[in-house]
């Protein structure tokens, strides 16, 4: 390459990074802007005081209608044992991962499908693949890959494209299974699908064991939202949860301590409609709260749950001080 061409090439790369375009290409779960090390699901007889309220976690992967390649759903460290996981007594946790497609998956049509509680018809759709993992050296600190799937095996939504649902259920034992997902176009590598995304309605995750770390999740605020109710579980009184948006510099919300839910209402201003909020999880500075697992969900005034996207819609919201609004908080503990 001649020097001039090289300069143009690097300028182009800088533009891509600065505009956040790369976010559209990534489907790691947790997402790359979230700074969350792992998802967590405990075994069937896990104690909720360890940080998982319902021993089940549901995620959705959306693939654009235009994509006609293969789809793989990769799970990193699907086993419970060895590295990454949270031990209680012997390693005895079993986790059932199930992948669903077809009609009935779309959570905007079928509320049970959202998997807020592992009850009712939350396993709606057609089972495409499933596998149970226990302590297993073969998959410790390694990937297991579901697929290939044809995009058309997902549930077609006009808005989101083809939707696949993945449920991790605690099927036995009391240890915590920590894991991650990646939606890939290849079976043995993480290769993102352009325009794909992932979302959940109830996020159960592990915080870093580092007092300096800040984790984020990005709920999307749709038309017609007046206020939202956030609910967080088992935060271990670990510092502060702060909400930032393009018109909100940062407000703290009431947080839970041990094995309890705490909720509060946050009024939404019109400038926050059609954008993502940034829920920031700032760890306690005075001492390290270790192995903190936490659950969060958010619903609007109609009781409809907001989606948390791994690649935030509209990008990571940045506070812009030139827009003046006065958000107020009503807490209801």
Could you say whether residue 82 binds Ca ion (CB under 5 A)? yes
Could you say whether residue 44 binds Ca ion (CB under 5 A)? no
x-or-dash string of contact with Ca ion, 124-153, rule CB under 5 A: ----------------x-------------
Among 113, 134, 204, 293, binds Ca ion (CB under 5 A): 293
Q: How far apart are CA 278 and CA 253, in angstroms?
A: 13
Taking alpha carbons only, the member of 63, 141, 48, 49 closest to residue 99 is 63
Nearer to Ca ion, 293 or 300 (CB): 293
**Do the Cβ atoms of 75 and 198 come closer than 8 Å?**
no
In angstroms, the Cα distances linking 242 to 37, 249, 278, 316 are 19, 9, 8, 15
Nearer to Ca ion, 222 or 258 (CB): 258
Give the nearest distance from C-beta 307 to Ca ion in angstroms: 23
Give the nearest distance from C-beta 214 to Ca ion in angstroms: 17
Give the nearest distance from C-beta 197 to Ca ion in angstroms: 24
Q: How far apart are CA 55 and CA 295, in angstroms?
A: 11
Could you say whether residue 53 binds Ca ion (CB under 5 A)? no
| Residue 227 in tokens | 């206020």
In angstroms, the Cα distances linking 258 to 42, 174, 191 are 16, 18, 39
Could you say whether residue 292 binds Ca ion (CB under 5 A)? yes
Q: Is 329 helix (H, G, I), strand (E, B) or coil?
A: strand
- Concatenating the DSSP letter of every residue in 236-277 gives TT-SEEEEEETTEEEEEE----SS-EEEEEEE--GGGTTEE-
Among 41, 59, 75, 84, binds Ca ion (CB under 5 A): 84
Could you say whether residue 106 binds Ca ion (CB under 5 A)? no
Q: How far apart are CA 31 and CA 142, in angstroms?
A: 18
Neighbouring C-beta atoms of residue 159, cutoff 10 Å: 8
Q: Cα 72–75–79 angle (5° rounding)?
A: 145
x-or-dash string of contact with Ca ion, 221-240, rule CB under 5 A: -------------x-x----
Nearer to Ca ion, 89 or 303 (CB): 89
Nearer to Ca ion, 177 or 197 (CB): 177
Query: Under 8 Å CB-to-CB from 224, ≥6 apart: which residues?
Result: 273, 300
Nearer to Ca ion, 93 or 276 (CB): 93
| Residue 95 in tokens | 């986790």
Among 37, 46, 51, 151, binds Ca ion (CB under 5 A): 51
Give the nearest distance from C-beta 77 to Ca ion in angstroms: 4
Among 34, 53, 85, 272, binds Ca ion (CB under 5 A): 85
Could you say whether residue 88 binds Ca ion (CB under 5 A)? yes
Give the nearest distance from C-beta 35 to Ca ion in angstroms: 17
* Residues of the shown chain interacting with Ca ion in the complex, contacts defined by CB under 5 A: 51, 77, 79, 82-85, 88-89, 92, 140, 174-175, 177-179, 234, 236, 292-293
């Amino acid at each position: 390459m001649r020097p001039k061409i090289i300069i143009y090439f690097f300028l182009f790369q800088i533009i891509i990074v600065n505009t956040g375009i790369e976010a559209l290409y990534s489907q790691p779960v947790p997402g790359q802007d979230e700074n969350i090390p792992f998802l967590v699901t405990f075994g069937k007889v896990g104690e909720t005081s360890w940080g998982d309220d319902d021993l089940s976690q549901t995620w959705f992967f959306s693939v654009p209608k235009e994509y006609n390649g293969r789809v793989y759903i990769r799970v990193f460290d699907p086993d419970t044992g060895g590295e990454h996981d949270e031990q209680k007594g012997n390693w005895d946790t079993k986790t059932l991962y199930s992948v669903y497609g077809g009609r009935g998956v779309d959570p905007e049509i079928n509320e049970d499908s959202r998997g807020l509680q592992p009850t009712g018809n939350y396993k709606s759709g057609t089972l495409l693949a499933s596998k149970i993992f226990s302590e297993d050296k073969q998959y410790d600190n390694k990937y297991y890959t579901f697929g290939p799937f044809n995009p058309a095996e997902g549930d077609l939504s006009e808005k989101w494209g083809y939707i696949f649902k993945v449920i991790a259920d605690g099927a036995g034992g009391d240890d915590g299974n920590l894991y991650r997902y990646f939606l890939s176009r290849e079976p043995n590598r993480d290769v993102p699908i352009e325009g794909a995304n992932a979302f959940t309605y109830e996020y159960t995750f592990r915080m870093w064991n580092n007092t300096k770390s800040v984790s984020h999740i990005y709920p999307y605020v749709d038309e017609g939202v007046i206020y939202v109710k956030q609910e967080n579980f088992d935060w271990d009184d670990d510092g502060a949860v702060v909400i930032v948006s393009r018109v909100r510099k940062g407000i703290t919300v009431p947080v839970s301590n041990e094995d309890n839910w705490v909720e509060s209402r946050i009024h939404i201003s019109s400038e926050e409609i059609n954008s993502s909020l940034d829920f920031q999880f700032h760890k306690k500075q005075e001492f390290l709260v270790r192995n903190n697992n936490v659950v969060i969900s958010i619903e609007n005034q109609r009781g409809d749950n907001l989606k948390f996207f791994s690649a935030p819609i509209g990008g990571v919201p940045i506070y812009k001080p030139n827009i003046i609004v006065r958000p107020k908080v009503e807490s209801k503990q």
